[in-house]
């Protein structure tokens, strides 16, 4: 027993120092590993605050490149940027991601981009809608814009800004323009005849076609390679390209292709208080062409939510055409050629994002543009699509409270479970890139700068600019005497007589806005309305 006690006494102190040494060494290592990155981060922070270190992002920018939009609000940025205030736009900053853009702040690429792409549009919108729409398309490679303006878009406050932007041609709807368009060969042909002499959407459709015909001439004179007709509530989404670029997308199109169809996705708003759809809407309903048939028809009832069709408005997309001889419009959604059947392809990923009824005020704005009676029979004269007819009747007959209730039931996606279900099935999808680009442009001061730098325009100069804008424009043909839409009964009768005489000549009819395929109630049959 004494021997054992002595043995334990001898070995106990030998074990304790070994354990203590190991623990102490481990603690020092852990302390060192903790203090080292903290110390380095502190030193870097102090240097950056004093301006002693350059933001790596600025070192990576090409020569002549500007600061990334949105970077000026970061403490890492060595530059400061002053934002001009404007009554036209909300230019408040946000915490959204940023993207690089090059050349000057007006995105004037000039001859540096190929192919050259132009967009034509007929619009009555204000700067708060046109500028984000335009500069977004500049970012993805559009070089020229031919804007046929009316209403708010034609006022001096708006038009002087638009005319100051490189690559933008503003065409006003004057009596001179209408006289030129009345001589168009379109009036002597049958492909658009079913839309003649009807009010509201039909009249707009004819007007858009006439404007597109003139834009073809302008595109050819400007050396454009491609032409695209878009409304100012539509954005091209060039998915599938090697970079987020319409230019790159069209660069990859085979040379024997004349036209490229972009199926459209429709905005699916989640609130009834949207103010700036391009910056606030990220959820879209996919086109039938981009969905498996089983998914589309299997989820049709959930997708429709009691509305007349899968989409609120049109579902047949838009097309871009190669600028070439004998090109003509084929309604607002397609192009055609007088001398041949165009070779047409449809894209599998890229789309047109259509922000339709994205704001509650869109209900009343459509109502205010049309003078039809709010009855089921009369609205058929004004609107081609069933949802537009229903919306017009509601906006014309209901109180503000009833309209808001109807809007939430038929337009706003408020049911979280249904949203999740359709997002998982791929019917609904999230697309953030347009929002990021437009918010970044706003943060960078592009919109406020272009407004601030626009020259002042006196009334005399404004009137002169209208005259000069229309005096040099040629149109495709001068085959008929002047004829306005619905001018007199006699002119209508003359026009119809001419059309009857030429009805034996086959011409592909204009493609109207069309709803996606529907499902006949209680059957699996497909209907195309």
Extents of the domains making up the chain: 102-452
Note the pLDDT of residue 22. Answer: 54
Position 12 scores a pLDDT of 40
- pLDDT in the model for residue 507: 63
What's residue 465's pLDDT? 52
Q: Which pLDDT does position 461 carry in this prediction? A: 56
What is the residue-wise DSSP string for 351-385?
Answer: EEEE-TT-STTHHHHHHHH----SSTTTHHHH-SS
Contact call for residues 207 and 184 (beta carbons, < 8 A): no
Dihedrals phi, psi of 121, to nearest 5 degrees: -150, 145
Residues 87-91: contacts with CB under 8 Å, at least 24 apart:
88/126, 88/127, 88/128, 88/131, 88/447, 88/451, 89/127, 89/128, 89/131, 89/442, 89/447, 89/448, 89/451, 90/128, 90/275, 90/276, 90/442, 91/442, 91/443, 91/445, 91/447, 91/448
Packing angle, helices 127-139 and 433-444, rounded to 10 = 110
The per-residue pLDDT for 190 is 92
Residue 396 tokens read as: 């014309």
Which of 334, 335, 287, 339 has the alpha carbon at shortest distance from 315?
287
Helix crossing, 127-139 with 156-163: angle to 10°?
Answer: 10
Angle at alpha carbon of residue 349, lines to 347 and 351, rounded to 5°: 75
The C-alpha atoms of residue 312 and residue 366 are separated, in whole angstroms, by 14
Phi-psi region of 516 (alpha: psi -120 to 50; beta: other; left: phi over 0): beta
Profile the chain (529 residues) by mean pLDDT over runs of 10 residues: 43 45 65 70 60 40 39 34 41 40 49 88 97 97 97 96 96 95 93 92 95 98 97 97 94 96 98 97 98 97 95 97 97 96 96 97 85 90 94 95 97 96 98 97 94 75 52 35 38 38 54 87 45
In this predicted structure, what is the pLDDT of residue 39?
73
């Amino acid at each position: 027993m004494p021997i054992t006690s002595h043995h334990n006494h001898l070995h106990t102190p030998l074990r304790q120092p070994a354990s203590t040494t190991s623990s102490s060494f481990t603690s020092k290592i852990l302390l060192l590993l903790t203090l080292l990155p903290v110390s380095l981060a502190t030193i870097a922070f102090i240097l950056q605050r004093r301006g002693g270190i350059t933001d790596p992002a600025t070192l990576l920018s090409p020569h002549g490149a500007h600061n990334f939009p949105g970077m000026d609000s970061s403490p890492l940025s060595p530059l400061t940027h002053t934002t001009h205030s404007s009554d036209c736009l909300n230019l408040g900053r946000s915490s959204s991601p940023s993207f690089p853009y090059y050349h000057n702040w007006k995105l004037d690429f000039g001859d540096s981009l190929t192919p050259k792409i132009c967009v034509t549009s007929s619009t009555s919108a204000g700067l708060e809608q046109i500028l984000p729409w335009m500069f977004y398309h500049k970012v993805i490679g559009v070089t020229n814009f031919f804007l046929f303006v009316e209403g708010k878009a034609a006022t001096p406050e708006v038009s002087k800004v638009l005319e100051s932007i490189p690559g933008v041609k503003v065409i006003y709807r004057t009596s001179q323009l209408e006289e030129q368009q009345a001589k168009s060969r379109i009036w002597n042909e049958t492909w658009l005849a079913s839309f003649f002499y009807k009010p509201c959407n039909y009249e707009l459709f004819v007007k858009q076609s006439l404007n597109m015909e003139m834009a073809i001439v302008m595109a050819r004179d400007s050396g454009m390679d491609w032409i695209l007709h878009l409304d100012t509530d539509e954005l091209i989404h060039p998915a599938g390209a090697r970079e987020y670029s319409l230019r790159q997308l069209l660069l990859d199109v085979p040379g024997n292709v004349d036209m490229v169809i972009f199926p459209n996705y429709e905005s699916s708003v989640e609130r009834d208080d949207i103010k700036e759809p391009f910056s606030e809407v990220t959820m879209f309903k996919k086109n039938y062409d981009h969905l498996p048939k089983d998914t589309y028809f299997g989820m049709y009832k959930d997708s429709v939510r009691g509305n007349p069709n899968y989409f609120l408005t049109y579902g047949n997309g838009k097309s871009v055409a190669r600028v070439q001889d004998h090109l003509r419009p084929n309604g607002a959604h397609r192009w055609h050629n007088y001398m041949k059947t165009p070779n047409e392809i449809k894209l599998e990923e890229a789309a047109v994002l259509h922000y339709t009824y994205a704001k509650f005020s869109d209900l009343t704005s459509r109502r205010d543009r049309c003078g039809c009676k709010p009855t089921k029979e009369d609205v058929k004269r004004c609107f081609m699509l069933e949802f537009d007819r229903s919306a017009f009747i509601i906006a014309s007959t209901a109180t503000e409270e009833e309209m808001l209730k109807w809007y939430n039931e038929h337009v706003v996606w408020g049911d979280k479970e249904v949203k999740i279900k359709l997002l998982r099935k791929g019917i609904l999808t999230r697309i953030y890139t347009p929002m990021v680009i437009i918010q970044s442009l706003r943060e960078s001061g592009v919109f406020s700068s272009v407004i601030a730098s626009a020259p002042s325009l006196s009334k005399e100069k404004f009137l002169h600019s209208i005259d000069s804008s229309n005096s040099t424009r040629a149109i495709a043909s001068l085959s008929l005497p002047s004829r306005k839409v619905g001018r007199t009964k006699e002119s209508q009768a003359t026009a119809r007589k001419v059309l009857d005489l030429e009805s034996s000549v086959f011409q592909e009819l204009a493609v109207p806005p069309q709803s996606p395929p529907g499902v006949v109630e209680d059957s699996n049959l497909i209907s195309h309305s």
